[in-house]
Structure 1
């Protein structure tokens, strides 16, 4: 039996090997793990030239048609989660490449949303840095959650979880999206905002939980940011392109809003000279929303299951 070759991409933390039993593939698949991020198509094509199987982490490494064209040996492409907008599914099908997903949980990104929101509201990073560096003892004035309004753009699985926590904090929770109905909002225990504009104008905290698409790309631009209260905070753990990045930098520098937190960026890793790195009152994280042990175990164990199913001739969790 010919041994197939598999590459696991973007294993930043070097944990993929230990979080799943890759030994189940021994003798059938030779697996290697890459902890460095490759953005150049020439480098990627060279690295993956001998691979029949590739495992990708979320949307870290896109697989457009131009890259798939250069990987004639590729037969199975596995993505963590059950959706990946950075894979050209039509091109994959045209090349005879099966695309599969893995289990994924909505709890971790909802939890991280609150890490950002609380970090902003109580100046956690500023106060911690001051304490460690011997600076002033108390320099910020926290924003209250209890009694304030939490506005959610999107009320899917993650948005609904965030809403429940907001209610537990005693917040008035409202939501808006283009397809959200009063019935769906009521079922989640939140108020349906009359419009996106009304949500932005009346909320003390705004959190983004929408899927990126033609209707949501650039949904929050300069006009929308100006509608927000100067004391309000914006948090985005969804997709960076939903919020105009240039407008966000300007809003922070000119004080249109009190602060912003983001776990997502249009270019990742974020370039060293990106203006958000030095924007005032900005709390940024390196796309950690889904990065938890349990979620990663689901990803990599799911990848092993996908490979075994493919080898048996009955692939599971296929996309496209």
Structure 2
């Protein structure tokens, strides 16, 4: 009998506000157990998924599967990027931006069947002040929303919408200096998103032309706009037409520096991180293998 591939499933039990008590049973029903030997580990503290990913590399697993949202994917991916070990994704988050872009089904059984195929693609990753991101990093309004959402007791889209409305009431645009591949810009912006893939999640596309394999980051600058146009801006997000808005400017780059007036939150794949006034951002071309 041929040797089975050892797969570690790293399960975030609280991501997306979904209970995962039956997940292990479902894996044993759907995963091809003639080809794969699954192990399950549950995260129970911040950065635990990263630690488990690092251990999986040392222990010689053939793949690690992140069962959670973009934050869990970020931790596991950061642990194994630069190795030959592929990352599998079972999307269980609030937004699932990376999984949606890669065409990974939100249905657990369908996503597990993708693992059975074990087909991989090499993708780009981004880095901001030493922190990896695979989907989008941002500052300004969306970072403030992520910061608020982290304290919200309602998860999922409803909680995220509540955070948007709370932050929107008194949010003010800021002035930023950007240096993109050596060229300097001065911009007043409502928010700046640095996109490796096109969407935040829930099919809200901030950078419709972004690609996770082209070696380029899309710097999406959302300029100050009248509040009465908010429904139109949201319409652009959900119709993949943000780049057609007169209030959105997208500049491609590989090496990016952003200078702001004061330190504050930055969202890294949806997770808020406190960072300083100067942000150094770069692309790492095809630095991670993903099963899709």
Structure 2 length as normaliser, TM-score? Answer: 0.37
Structure with more helix by fraction: 1
Select the structure with the greater relative contact order (CA < 8 A; seq sep ≥ 6): 2
Q: Give 1 or 2: higher strand fraction.
A: 2
Give the alignment's TM-score, normalised by structure 1: 0.34
